[in-house]
Amino acid sequence: MTIALSCQGLARSFGGVQAVKGVSLSLPAGQVTALVGPNGAGKTTVFNLITGNLRADEGSATLHGKPIMGLKPWQVARAGVARSFQDLRLFQHMSVRDNVLAATEPAGWFWQPGGASARREREAKADAAIQAAGLSAVADARAVDLAYAERKFLSMARILAAEANVWLLDEPASGLDLSSRERFQGLLHHARAQGVAICLIEHNLDVVMALADRIAFLDRGQVLAEGEPQAIMRDPKLAAIYFGDRQ
C-alpha cells in the first residue's frame, strides 16, 4: 500500500477553541478514506491545515514523502493535492468552462506559460473534465446560473481538471438526489481505480458505506477511531457520538 499523503500531530486552536488536537492521518493511493464526525469536529480545519489555507500550531504533513507544511495553498495544489470547499468557492460570474480552465493551472491562471499550444492543451483538459462531470450542455453558462447539483459537479470538474493524485473533498455530495449521488459515486470509483488517494468528508452514511475503503472518525478535534467501515460504524460508542446522544 502506497501512502500518498500523511499528516502527523496536526493541531490548531482558534482563541479558546482547540479545533484540531493531534490529528494523524494517512491517505493510501487508490483508496477512499472517509473523514466522518459530527458538526464542528474539526474536519474542514484538518483540510485547511494540510492545504496551507490555515497555519498549524503543531504537526507535519508529507506528500509522497516530501514535507508540505508551511507551503502556500497554490504550492500544495501544484504539488498534486486538489481540494473542494464546503461552500464551493466557484467564480460565480465566469462560465463553467472558464471555472474549469482556471483549475488546470494552479500556479496562477492569469499568467499562462507556453503560449497557444499550451493553451489548447489546457482547453482540451478542461473540456474532458467538463464532459466527465456531465456538464457539456452547460459549458457556456455562468456558474451563478447553474442548478444546485450542477454547481456541485462543477466543483468536481475543477478537481478532475487539476489532474492531482490526492483529492480532498469537503461534503461534495451533500444535498444531491439519489441519481446525482450515483453519478458522483461513479466519478470517485473511476478516480480510485486510477490510483488517486481520496479523502472524503461526508455526513451521509449511505454515501460513506458505498464509497469508503476506510473511515477516520473525528470528534472534538481528535481521531477517535480509524479502520474498516463496517467495524467503525458498528461501534456503539461512535454511533452515540455521531447521532448526538453521547453520555
Ligand X SMILES: Nc1ncnc2c1ncn2[C@@H]1O[C@H](COP(=O)(O)OP(=O)(O)OP(=O)(O)O)[C@@H](O)[C@H]1O
Q: For the chain, how many residues are written?
A: 247
User: In whole angstroms, what is the distance from residue 58 CA to residue 40 CA?
Assistant: 20
Does residue 56 belong to the site contacting ligand X (CB under 6 A)?
Answer: no
Does residue 179 belong to the site contacting ligand X (CB under 6 A)?
Answer: no
Among 6, 26, 31, 44, binds Mg ion (CB under 5 A): 44
Quick one: 41 or 166, whose CB is closer to ligand X? 41
Contact segment (CB under 6 A) with ligand X among 11-19, 93-101, 129-137, 147-155 equals 11-19
Q: What angle in degrees, to the nearest 10, is found between the helix axes of 115-132 and 148-161?
A: 130
User: In whole angstroms, what is the distance from residue 113 CA to residue 6 CA?
Assistant: 31
Contact segment (CB under 6 A) with ligand X among 33-41, 62-70, 155-163, 189-197 equals 33-41
Among 1, 16, 39, 65, binds ligand X (CB under 6 A): 39
Smallest distance, Å, CB 167 to Mg ion? 16
Quick one: 14 or 243, whose CB is closer to ligand X? 14
User: In whole angstroms, what is the distance from residue 132 CA to residue 153 CA?
Assistant: 10
User: In whole angstroms, what is the distance from residue 161 CA to residue 20 CA?
Assistant: 30
Does residue 40 belong to the site contacting ligand X (CB under 6 A)?
Answer: yes
User: In whole angstroms, what is the distance from residue 95 CA to residue 219 CA?
Assistant: 38
The DSSP secondary structure of 6-62, one letter per residue, reads: EEEEEEEEETTEEEEEEEEEEEETT-EEEEE--TTSSHHHHHHHHHTSS--SEEEEE
Does residue 67 belong to the site contacting ligand X (CB under 6 A)?
Answer: no
Smallest distance, Å, CB 24 to ligand X? 16
Binding site for ligand X (CB under 6 A): 14, 17, 19, 37, 39-45, 86
